[in-house]
Structure 1
Amino acid sequence: MTLLETERLIIREFTNEDTEAVHAYASDPLVAKYMIWGPKDFEFAVVLKETGQLIGGCGIHISEPGQGEIGYCFNPLFWRQGYTSEAAASLLDFGFQELNLHRIYATCRPENVGSAKVMQKLGMVYEGHLREHMWHKGRWHDSYQYSVLKPEYELQRGRRK
């Protein structure tokens, strides 16, 4: 079982026992509004260390050799508390250190300001506005795309230590 750990979180593979907790946030229209559910190469449950409560999920998809896309989805009760940034930073660590990726990117819908702020906090660089590039839930959607390269990540990580 793959396991990542931060100061406050345990990031692990999902188990059958997680079904109810995942359904609690994944079925929330506010959450699903921004998500495009699909396969990922590494998909993890995000659990509070202190209580063992599952609060969301995150993942990294290897899109092509040397490149990965991260994503995250959390129960709205746990938004704006730094958990998403903490989990996403752990994914960057995993992608660059364990998977030896060169570039990691992420996208969000333009109206999903919270997700864009997470990417900016991680030091990801805004690459552009993808116009109506994705058909989902009966209409075309735009996305903002951010990325970070391994040398940039290593420089930022060195400054945090």
Structure 2
Amino acid sequence: MLNLPESFETERLVIRKLRHEDAPAIYEGYASIHESTRFVSWPTHRSVEDTHNFLTIKEDEWNQGKDYAYAVTLKATGSLIGGLGAINEQGKVAIGYILNPAFERNGYATEAVKKLVVLLSNIPEVWRIWALCDIDNIGSCKVLEKVGFKREAVLHRWYRFVNQENAIKDCVFYLFPRP
């Protein structure tokens, strides 16, 4: 188990543990939108029920200390605009994020990831922070590089993306440098 808080803030965001009442906002905001989900590991949701099932899994994984899934909300309005997560593999932590397309290119992902990386960096049990991106996901690569992640390698034919007709894609492997 990582000592991550259930909520934290940045200048413009409140980032908090996902909850079941978030299902409609998640479904409508990004989980049902193919363009938003084409680079994620989980299938595009076809109903709010899919989103509720997803949230049940995320709650169980949080309680097991495996996956810390957060809602990204605007501080000014409380609107849910995306998701952020940290998957713990015995101190080797992968991060991921997704935004409602209406809120992309405003620096929100960079702001959220930067704060999460600071929190993870201060946990002694975390010895590696990493991320994997489809090589065609230019926006996500830029976010990681702005936060300070270093491109470690291009992994050829590395991951099968369920929302790209199970295409096997090249991926960029990023590491966050640790002192």
TM-score, length basis structure 2:
0.78
- Which residue of 97, 101, 112 corresponds with 1:87? 112
- Which residue of 6, 17, 37 corresponds with 1:2? 6
Counterpart residue number, 1:21 = 25
- Once the 2 structures are TM-superposed, how far is the Cα of residue 78 of structure 1 from its aligned partner? 0.5
- Which residue of 128, 133, 136 corresponds with 1:111? 136
Is it true that 1:150 corresponds to 2:178 in the alignment? Answer: yes
Please, what is the CA RMSD of the aligned residues?
1.6
Residues 1-161 of structure 1 correspond to what in structure 2 (within 5 A)?
2-24=6-28, 25-37=30-42, 41-63=67-89, 65-98=90-123, 100-137=125-162, 138-151=166-179
- Give the structure, 1 or 2, with the largest relative contact order (CA under 8 Å, sep 6 or more): 2
Name which of structure 1's ranges 132-141 and 72-81 shifts more when overlaid on structure 2: 132-141
1:55-87 superposed Cα distances (whole Å, 9 cap, x missing partner):
000000112x33111000110000000000011
Q: Is the 8 A contact 2:40 2:161 kept in 1?
A: no
SS of the equivalent of 1:149 reads: coil
Q: Is the 8 A contact 1:106 1:146 kept in 2?
A: yes
Report % sequence identity.
Answer: 37
SS of the equivalent of 1:50 reads: coil
CA distance in 1, matches of 2:124, 2:68: 11
SS of the equivalent of 1:150 reads: coil
1:116-147 superposed Cα distances (whole Å, 9 cap, x missing partner):
00011011110111111222322212110111
Name which of structure 1's ranges 123-132 and 138-147 shifts more when overlaid on structure 2: 138-147
After superposition, the Cα gap between the structure-2 partners of 1:69 and 1:33, relative to the gap in structure 1 and judged at 3 Å, is same
CA distance in 2, matches of 1:101, 1:2: 17
SS of the equivalent of 2:155 reads: strand
- Once the 2 structures are TM-superposed, how far is the Cα of residue 100 of structure 1 from its aligned partner? 4.0
SS of the equivalent of 1:133 reads: strand
Structure 1: 4+ residue segments shifted above 4 A:
none
After superposition, the Cα gap between the structure-2 partners of 1:4 and 1:88, relative to the gap in structure 1 and judged at 3 Å, is same
Normalized per residue, the structure richer in strand is 1
